[in-house]
Amino acid sequence: MKCRILIVIIFIGNSFITLAQDSSLNGITKQAAENSIKSKLASPFGAAALSNFISNISVSSVLKEGVNGKIELRGKFKAGWIGGLSIDQKIGKIGEEAAPLSITGISPGTTVQLNLQKMFWHPSFRMSDAQVAKLNSAEEAYAKRNNIDDFLTVGLRDISINGLEIEKKMALDAFNTIHFREPVFVNAAIGFTKTSFSYTTDSVNLTQVNNAYVTPTFTISVIKALGSGFKVGGYFAISYNYSESYTAADDITFNIPFGTTSNYYSNTLAFGKPGKQTINTLIVEYRQNIFIKNGNRSVSNIAISPSVNWNIDGKMMGAFLPVYFIRGADDRGKLLDGLQGGMRFGYISSTEKGNAASFSKGFTAQLIISAPLDFLNSL
């Protein structure tokens, strides 16, 4: 009888230990998931599925988190291929300078990412020869009236802006027959992040161990560009991200006697090795460019890009609403050089029932400043 009671007690005890371990593991997974989502938020343009069109250097400041700097180099190749290399460095809350690379490789807090993007685009007019011939006749008349030497150089957009009402309608009707008018992009990115940790596994001497870990991240995105009439409206994107990361164990403060005196000093250390986590995230993003008419010219002034990140493992959700203030154009239509800015608002919460974070706890905001690297555009 005593033996049975002992077995039951051991079983119950083991169950509690297992539950505690599961709870601890669950907590670490959640922390890793939250970090994964936050890292996208911290990185300038980090949540955007479509890579930047131009090389640029950007800085983002995140409320309560610190500052990230990023340099992104773009190269355009034949047949719709675009490649890129970016270096993203966490500068910290109070840091004044950052060194993404050191003689031993990338510095802690740095992510180096390679990116390859392929465009699939096969537009084609769905018009009969008779319809094209009729359109060409109208274009000849338009060209003659506007003193254009060769009507073959007239674009349907020109007619939609400067033509007669009947010509505008004809141009738009012809343009709307185009099959596969907006491209689809497939974007793949692989990156490596270096993170350093200080911890101890020795509760007697509290010997501090400093270790750096390099963890991979991989993202694949499918992006469908959206258009309306002669305008590019934005895009819709679905992405999958796999990442590995390490999460520090909880900090513990030890009070240690100072020599043989009656004084004590305290030492705060993470007790135990950092835990490794693999994180799988699905991201849905929609981008809408808002154009403000300036005479006959459309100028892109604002773009909004709401996205939802759902972390499968950690049951975490992050919703972002970036608002980009895109550089405008001068009165001759030349885009203005210089800084572009943006604000990004985010809310991160658990998706487990009843565990939604309060707005003040889950809310985060980011300021982005970006400058184009024009001298690299010829790459």
| Interatomic CA distance for residues 371 and 44, integer angstroms | 12
Among 96, 129, 165, 331, binds another protein (CB under 8 A): 129
What is the DSSP secondary-structure string of 20-35?
HHHHHHHHHHHHHHHH
Q: Min. distance of Cβ 64 from another protein in angstroms?
A: 33
Q: Please state whether beta strands 316-325 and 101-102 pair in parallel, antiparallel, or not at all (unpaired).
A: unpaired
Among 59, 172, 178, 371, binds another protein (CB under 8 A): 178
Task: Locate 208 and state its tokens.
Answer: 């501090």
Distance CA 46, CA 43 (A): 5
Q: Is residue 155 a contact point for another protein (CB under 8 A)?
A: yes
Which residue has tokens 């506007």? Answer: 146
Out of 23, 102, 136, 196, name the contact with another protein by CB under 8 A: 136
Q: Is 147 in the site for another protein (CB under 8 A)?
A: no
Q: What is the CA radius of gyration of the chain?
A: 28
- Pick the closest to residue 363 from 349, 351, 347 (CA basis): 347
Length of the chain: 379
- 323 contributes a contact to another protein by CB under 8 A: no
Binder among 27, 183, 272, 362 for another protein (CB under 8 A): 183
Interface residue with another protein among 172, 212, 299, 367 (CB under 8 A) is 299
Whether the CB-CB separation of 46 and 39 falls below 8 Å is answered with yes
* Given 71, 119, 238, 304, the residue binding another protein (CB under 8 A): 119
Indicate whether 298 belongs to the interface with another protein (CB under 8 A): yes
| 134 is a contact residue toward another protein (CB under 8 A) | no
Would you count residue 279 as binding another protein (CB under 8 A)? no
Among 106, 174, 316, 368, binds another protein (CB under 8 A): 174
**Whose structure tokens read 């807090």?**
109
**123 vs 216, beta carbon nearer another protein:** 123
Which residue, 151, 171, 149, 147, is CA-closest to 159? 171
Return the range that interacts with another protein (CB under 8 A); candidates 1-9, 87-95, 224-232, 341-349: 224-232
Residue range at the interface with another protein (CB under 8 A); choices 134-142, 259-267, 270-278, 346-354: 134-142
Q: Out of 153, 196, 198, 211, point to the residue binding another protein (CB under 8 A).
A: 153
In the list 95, 105, 123, 216, the residue contacting another protein (rule: CB under 8 A) is: 123
Helices 165-175 and 129-145 cross at an angle (nearest 10°) of 140
Gap between the Cα atoms of 360 and 172, Å rounded = 48
Residue 338 half-sphere exposure toward CB, CA atoms < 13 A: 8
Q: Does 157 bind another protein (CB under 8 A)?
A: yes
**133 sits near another protein (criterion: CB under 8 A):** yes
Whole-angstrom distance, CA of residue 116 vs CA of residue 81: 7
Is 225 an interacting residue with respect to another protein (CB under 8 A)?
A: yes
Each residue 336-375 as x (binds another protein by CB under 8 A) or -, in order, gives ----------------------------------------
Nearest residue to 174 (alpha-carbon basis) of 233, 123, 126, 140: 126
Binding residues among 49-68 for another protein as defined by CB under 8 A? 53-54
* Three-state SS annotation for 105-162: EECCCEEEEEEEEEEECCCEECCCHHHHHHHHHHHHHHHHHCCCCCHHHCCHHHHHHH
Residue whose CB is less far from another protein, 97 or 149 = 149
Q: By CB under 8 A, name the one of 4, 122, 147, 260 that touches another protein.
A: 122
Query: Within 13 Å, how many C-alpha atoms sit on residue 363's CB side?
Result: 5
Give the C-alpha distances (Å, rounded to integers) separating 4 from 1, 9, 14, 18.
Answer: 5, 9, 15, 21
Could you say which of 13, 80, 95, 257 contacts another protein (CB under 8 A)?
80
Q: Is 271 in the site for another protein (CB under 8 A)?
A: no
The verdict on 230 binding another protein (CB under 8 A) reads: yes
d(CA 291, CA 140): 31
Q: Which residues bind another protein (CB under 8 A)?
A: 53-54, 76, 78-80, 119, 121-125, 127, 129, 132-133, 135-136, 139, 150, 152-158, 174-175, 178, 181-183, 225, 227, 229-233, 289, 291, 297-300, 326, 329, 333-335, 377
